[in-house]
């Protein structure tokens, strides 16, 4: 039965990814889509409202600036909602503290959704529906748009990277919104509630009364999984029966998390060659397979696991969630086996197996550039990629993208211990508590969002430190990766021999080995101090 479930998840997500990938390829090159005239009229209305010329092309600096400006405005709106939710309609509750509001706004705008709050206890229906769900569309649309621009850098010459506002609008209106809408309907059918009532009153078997928190759960849950968001309506996240009612919803949510990250390599294949795209997809699936193998190599639980999912269902969901940088959880991390936790760390360290919506694909191309550079050194050839030379600046930018991540994990982890914040929250330093601190900053830096600490991290130290790590971990790599794409638009395209052909079984093997070697060399000592010693 477990094998059948795994096959359903993989076949279902890949089957949908083929359909989504073809559609995304059309969006990337601005080809006509189904219902083009109808959708075009709707989109043109938005362009007129925000004063955008849909035909204007942006350089990488302009595109990145547009991403940042849009996200800053959206984060400011969410922060205002959270601070003043007591004055807003729909079950008002006291506003959050400044540090928690900033952390939550930074978390959701960066597609992280790290939760240092209990949603059903501290947030109003208005904050969840108008604030968080709105941001759950903004954040993944920004990441997917950045990936579109990044891919254009390899297929265009001196024509810009596209227009962020056009990409952003089209992604939300014609991709995320319709898919999330129908996914929410299916989740309602499976048992998730969708209501503006904040509570429902029920009678108990003993004749008493019980008040149960509720709200627009299905709509939040659908975009939460589809958009690599991960933030739950409830503190228990996807372990709560309203967010993830049964085994069927568990499988469906796994497919939702995988579909867009797996669609981008297929879109890449349509635009830049089937072999190249399929090779990248294969490397992603190999990495995901390693994560699953680690997670399933020993049983987790039973403590901390939901009985309706068991060890296999919990492990499959969590490994899928972390592999896609979604961060949703249907079980307590403390209930997972040490091998499963190592698998989760692997997903957060690599960020590209398959990674979050948009940014996972970009990160895998960075690994491709680093792989071609290292192979070029080995065979004594100038590194080439798709008929273009990889110059020293490209390699430096790619190396910075790779090195930012461990720096953002290890430096604040040391700081948490030297300031005493880790001791104050977790007590004596042990392999288990070190793992929790390392995981917190790994999750924040990778824009993942899963964590051990939960509401116990609702202190000024954890809120401010993780917020800034999330912001730097999101926008610094995107800016550097767009700079790489911008440099390739200026590059001469000539028929040259790559140091290794970027398609086929050999390349898949070399790329996979390089990804894991680079990751192991960077992070192995810290895993030895934590999960390996548990």
Q: What's the pLDDT tens digit per position in 181-191? A: 999 999 999 99
Least confident piece of the model among 127-136, 187-196, 252-261, 486-495:
486-495
Dist CA 356 CA 66 (whole Å): 20
What's the mean pLDDT when you consider all of the chain?
A: 92
% of the chain exceeding 70 in pLDDT: 99
3-state secondary structure of 418: helix
Phi-psi region of 373 (alpha: psi -120 to 50; beta: other; left: phi over 0): alpha
Which whole number is the average pLDDT over 201-218? Answer: 84
pLDDT at 423 over 70: yes
Q: For position 533, what pLDDT does the model report?
A: 66
| Cβ(424)–Cβ(449) below 8 Å | no
Name the most confidently modeled range: 61-65, 450-454, 529-533. 61-65
Q: What is the pLDDT of residues 315-353, one digit of tens each?
A: 999 999 999 999 999 999 999 999 999 999 999 999 999
Q: For position 43, what pLDDT does the model report?
A: 87
Which whole number is the average pLDDT over 429-439? Answer: 91
Q: For position 87, what pLDDT does the model report?
A: 93
| Cβ(159)–Cβ(51) below 8 Å | no
Q: For position 42, what pLDDT does the model report?
A: 86
Which whole number is the average pLDDT over 474-478? Answer: 97
Closest CA to 482 of 493, 470, 474, 471: 474
Q: For position 388, what pLDDT does the model report?
A: 83
210 phi, psi to nearest 5 deg: -135, 135
pLDDT at 532 over 70: no
b/e 511-532 (16+ beta carbons within 10 angstroms → b): bbebbbebbeebbeebbeebbb
E-strand stretches of 412-458: none
Q: Per-residue DSSP letters for 254-273? A: HHHHHHHHHHHHHHHHHHH-
Least confident piece of the model among 68-82, 250-264, 294-308:
294-308
pLDDT at 24 over 70: yes
Q: What is the pLDDT of residues 137-153, one digit of tens each?
A: 999 999 999 999 999 99
What DSSP character marks residue 394? H
pLDDT at 132 over 80: yes
Q: For position 208, what pLDDT does the model report?
A: 77
Dist CA 373 CA 370 (whole Å): 5
pLDDT at 506 over 80: yes
3-state secondary structure of 194: coil
Q: For position 496, what pLDDT does the model report?
A: 64
Q: For position 534, what pLDDT does the model report?
A: 61
pTM: 0.95
Dist CA 139 CA 19 (whole Å): 23
% of the chain exceeding 90 in pLDDT: 76
Q: What band does 497 get if pLDDT is binned at 50, 70 and 90? A: low
Q: Where are the domains of the chain?
A: 2-199+212-273, 357-533
Q: What is the pLDDT of residues 65-120, one digit of tens each?
A: 999 999 999 999 999 999 999 999 988 899 999 999 999 999 999 999 999 999 99
Q: What band does 292 get if pLDDT is binned at 50, 70 and 90? A: very high
Q: What is the pLDDT of residues 357-384, one digit of tens each?
A: 999 999 999 999 999 999 888 877 778 8
Which whole number is the average pLDDT over 125-135? Answer: 95
Question: Which helix (H) or strand (E) element contains residue 213?
Answer: strand 209-213
3-state secondary structure of 203: strand
pLDDT at 446 over 90: yes
pLDDT at 34 over 70: yes
Closest CA to 477 of 428, 379, 378, 406: 406
Q: In the structure encoding, which two tokens stand for residue 90, read together? A: 């729909």
Q: What band does 39 get if pLDDT is binned at 50, 70 and 90? A: confident
Higher per-residue pLDDT: 86 or 524:
86
């Amino acid at each position: 039965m477990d094998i059948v479930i795994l096959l359903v998840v993989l076949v279902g997500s890949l089957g949908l990814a083929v359909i989504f990938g073809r559609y995304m390829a059309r969006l990337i090159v601005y080809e006509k889509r189904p219902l083009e005239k109808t959708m075009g009229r709707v989109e043109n209305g938005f362009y007129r409202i925000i004063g955008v010329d849909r035909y204007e092309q942006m350089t990488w600096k302009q595109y990145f600036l547009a991403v940042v400006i849009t996200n800053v405005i959206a984060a400011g709106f969410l922060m205002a909602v959270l601070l003043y939710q007591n004055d807003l309609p729909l079950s008002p509750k006291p506003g959050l503290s400044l540090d928690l509001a900033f952390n939550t706004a930074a978390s959701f705008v960066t597609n992280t959704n790290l939760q240092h709050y209990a949603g059903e206890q501290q947030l109003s229906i208005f904050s969840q529906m108008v604030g968080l769900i709105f941001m759950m569309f903004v954040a993944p649309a920004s990441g997917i748009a950045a990936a579109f621009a990044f891919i254009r850098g390899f297929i265009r010459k001196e024509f810009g990277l596209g227009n962020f506002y056009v990409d952003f609008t089209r992604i939300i209106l014609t991709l995320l919104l319709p898919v999330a809408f129908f996914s929410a309907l299916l989740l309602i059918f499976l048992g998730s509630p969708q209501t503006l009532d904040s509570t429902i009153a029920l009678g108990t078997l003993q004749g008493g009364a019980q008040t149960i928190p509720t709200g627009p759960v299905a709509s939040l849950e659908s975009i939460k999984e589809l958009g690599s968001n991960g933030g739950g309506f409830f503190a228990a996240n996807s372990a709560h029966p309203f967010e993830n009612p049964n085994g069927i919803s568990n499988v469906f949510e796994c497919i939702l998390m995988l579909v867009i990250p797996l669609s981008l390599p297929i879109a890449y294949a349509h635009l830049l060659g089937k072999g190249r795209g399929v090779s990248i997809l294969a490397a992603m699936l190999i990495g995901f397979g390693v994560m699953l193998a680690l997670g399933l190599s020993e049983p987790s639980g039973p403590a901390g696991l939901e009985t309706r999912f068991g060890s296999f269902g919990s492990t499959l969901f969590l490994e899928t969630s972390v592999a896609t940088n979604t961060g949703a959880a249907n079980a307590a991390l403390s209930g997972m086996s040490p091998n499963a936790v190592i698998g989760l760390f692997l997903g957060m360290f690599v960020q590209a197996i398959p990674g979050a919506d948009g940014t996972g694909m970009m990160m895998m191309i960075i690994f491709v550039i680093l792989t071609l550079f290292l192979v070029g050194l080995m065979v004594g050839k100038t590194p080439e990629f798709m008929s273009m030379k990889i110059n020293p600046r490209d390699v430096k930018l790619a190396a910075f993208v790779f090195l930012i991540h461990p720096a953002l994990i290890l430096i604040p982890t040391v700081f948490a211990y030297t300031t005493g914040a880790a001791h104050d929250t977790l007590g004596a330093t042990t392999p288990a508590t070190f793992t929790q601190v390392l995981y917190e900053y790994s999750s924040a830096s990778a824009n993942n969002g899963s964590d051990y600490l939960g509401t116990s991290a609702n202190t000024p130290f954890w809120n401010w430190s993780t917020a800034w790590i999330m912001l730097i971990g999101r926008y610094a790599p995107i800016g550097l990766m767009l700079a790489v794409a911008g440099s390739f638009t200026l590059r001469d395209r000539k028929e040259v021999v790559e140091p290794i052909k970027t398609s086929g079984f050999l390349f898949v093997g070399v790329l996979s080995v390089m990804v894991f070697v680079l990751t192991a060399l960077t992070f192995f000592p810290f895993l030895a101090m934590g999960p390996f010693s548990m």
